Structure 1
Amino acid sequence: MRISVAVITYNWPEALERVLTALAAQSELPYEVIVTDDGSQPATRAVLERMALDYPVRLVHLWQPDDGARMSRARNRAIAAAQGDYVILLDGDMVAERHFIADHRAFARRGCFVQGSRVLTDARLTRRMLENIRLMPGFFSRGIERRRHTLRLPVLARWYARPGTKRRGIKSCNMAFWRDDLLVLNGFNEAMTGWGREDTELAARAFHLGLLRRDLRFSALATHLYHRTRKHVVDNPNDRIVDDTRARRLIRCELGVERHLAEFARPAVDLRAVVRAAAVTQGS
């Protein structure tokens, strides 16, 4: 089983570097890391090119123009470009614990998608983590919330991961699907722009398809770097799309990943090859 990690980012290169460093230090490496970029400035590309020179796995950078928050479109492009059988969705402010990929592999099951968890940090701890690439919070660390999510307990994790249809707590910052299931669902709904709910709508269609949810607790640990949020949006139009999806028991969305498959009929360029070729040219 080849695992693709789709990391979404927007104009926070320092956090992205921390995220990519953690993925490069995994006890089991993924097949590829795809950074799908919702219109960042050149500083993000500069970080990627610097890291690509000695990155241990295939590294892809997909960029789209900044035309408002188009997270659904950005994630769909990553799904379309993925060469793996299994796609882990990760936000560009989520720092993975060193067994993150191995744990996701262990809990992948046909007929299911996986919902992971996260530790929340405050601004001070986030600054320290950005300054020290080796720093990961533990159970007794200061500046964290959801402290239990620092604990990796595989036996307890298996108990929590029993398949079900729980609707609460859906969040695409740490989530995984079989790629062929995402293609059946047509990926994320690109009619949803602005903040939030695109992950909830995708999960609703997954349940309508007959997929079950496995919760990854005490496993596949990740730490969320603090930033201000727009979570409390009043009268979010995306809520009405979620309600319509549920009322009509939709499985496929109209505007989805299929729009991008032709673009990636040939594999997306591995940034490592581009950077290494440029280095050879400059050295000659």
Structure 2
Amino acid sequence: MKLSVIVSTYNSEEWLAKVLEGYCNQSESDFELVIADDGSSAQTQALVNSYASQFRHPIVHVWQEDNGFQKCKILNKAILEAHSEYLLFTDGDCIPRTDFVAQHLKYKKKGHFLSGGYFKLPLSISKEITFENIKQQDCFSMFWLLQKGMSFSFKLSKLVQHSFFAQFMNGITPTKKTFNGHNTSCFKKDLLAVNGFNEAMKYGGLDRELGERLNHYGIVAKQIRYAAICLHLEHSRAYFSEAERKKNTAIRDYNKKHKVIRIANGIEKL
């Protein structure tokens, strides 16, 4: 297979169903889905099972017991279970446009990771999107979104599906090229070299910390913010903790200062 898509999720079947529909409608079919499940109930398992026949390759459902926010831990497990040498990371609240996988394959390059973004939707429109809207790609139309009450802003330009426009905007955007857990791809061997995600970190910057260590290792970020598009569905974040955010910031600051590449508490426990 050409690529493994690692989708993180936790007890969010309504959103995950829409995301799975998005992957059912990809222009490129030679990929596997790896569901990185941080302790969801049996409902998520049932949902994943219901989509088993919709994909070219079997869905890999990696589950761990619910013990609080442990996204780094489940992602490290998912990395080991993925069968492809090239991995695309995203979340179970991000609907991919029909060319999402194809764009990541188009721009993949040794010595690089691809830095994508998202277009954020309000809760009302997030709920209104149907499977048919995903199949017809209505929800990726700025005109459809405006009709549904989306406020007009320059950010809508992310939804312009034109290769020359995307290349131009990727070249001039001031947004930093970071490792974004909702839309980033890279080679599995590079993740293994830096020992994967830092399990000492909870919510807040855990993906960017990994990207910073990849940079220290010599892996360069490439901007594809306007080329590979996904829609972010709104939701609450009960797992947010200011204390954990500060702890994560301190870890990142230390690792940047000391050019840390391989952390102790990752895929391997050193």
Map 1:12-31 → 2, pairs under 5 A: 12-31=12-31
Residue number in structure 2 paired with 1:157: 166
Q: Which amino acid in 2 is paired with 1:136?
A: C
Per-residue CA deviation, residues 128-159 of structure 1 (Å, 9 max, x unaligned), is: 11564434231232336731221222123334
Residue number in structure 2 paired with 1:271: none
Map 1:172-183 → 2, pairs under 5 A: 172-183=181-192
Residue number in structure 2 paired with 1:214: 222
> Matched residue of 1:58: which SS?
coil
Residue number in structure 2 paired with 1:201: 209
Unaligned runs of 5+ in 1: 260-284
Q: How far off its partner does 1:196 sit?
A: 1.7
Map 1:18-167 → 2, pairs under 5 A: 18-130=18-130, 132=132, 133-134=134-135, 135-140=138-143, 141-142=145-146, 143=150, 146-159=155-168, 167=176
Q: Which amino acid in 2 is paired with 1:28?
A: E
Q: How far off its partner does 1:46 sit?
A: 0.8
Per-residue CA deviation, residues 181-216 of structure 1 (Å, 9 max, x unaligned), is: 1110111001112x1211111011011111111111
Residue number in structure 1 paired with 2:198: 189
The 1:124/1:102 distance shift into structure 2, 3 A limit, reads: same
Unaligned runs of 5+ in 2: none
Q: Could you tell me the percent identity over the aligned residues?
A: 29
Q: How far off its partner does 1:161 sit?
A: 5.3
Q: 1:244 aligns with which of 254, 258, 266?
A: 254
Q: Which amino acid in 2 is paired with 1:126?
A: S
Aligned residues: 255
Q: Which amino acid in 2 is paired with 1:186?
A: N
The 1:168/1:175 distance shift into structure 2, 3 A limit, reads: closer
Residue number in structure 1 paired with 2:234: 226
The answer as to whether partners of 2:3 and 2:30 remain within 8 angstroms in 1 is: yes
The 1:213/1:160 distance shift into structure 2, 3 A limit, reads: farther
The 1:232/1:13 distance shift into structure 2, 3 A limit, reads: closer
The answer as to whether partners of 2:4 and 2:88 remain within 8 angstroms in 1 is: yes
Q: Distance in 1 between matches of 2:189 and 2:160?
A: 32
Q: Distance in 1 between matches of 2:73 and 2:239?
A: 20
> Matched residue of 1:199: which SS?
helix
The 1:250/1:57 distance shift into structure 2, 3 A limit, reads: same
Greater shift, 147-156 or 7-16, is seen at 147-156
Residue number in structure 2 paired with 1:253: 263
The answer as to whether partners of 1:160 and 1:216 remain within 8 angstroms in 2 is: no
Per-residue CA deviation, residues 73-101 of structure 1 (Å, 9 max, x unaligned), is: 11111111111111000100000000011
Q: Distance in 1 between matches of 2:36 and 2:11?
A: 12
Verify: 1:7 aligned to 2:7, yes or no. Answer: yes
The answer as to whether partners of 2:104 and 2:228 remain within 8 angstroms in 1 is: yes
The TM-score normalised by the length of structure 2 is: 0.87
The 1:32/1:116 distance shift into structure 2, 3 A limit, reads: same
The 1:169/1:85 distance shift into structure 2, 3 A limit, reads: closer
Q: How far off its partner does 1:53 sit?
A: 3.3
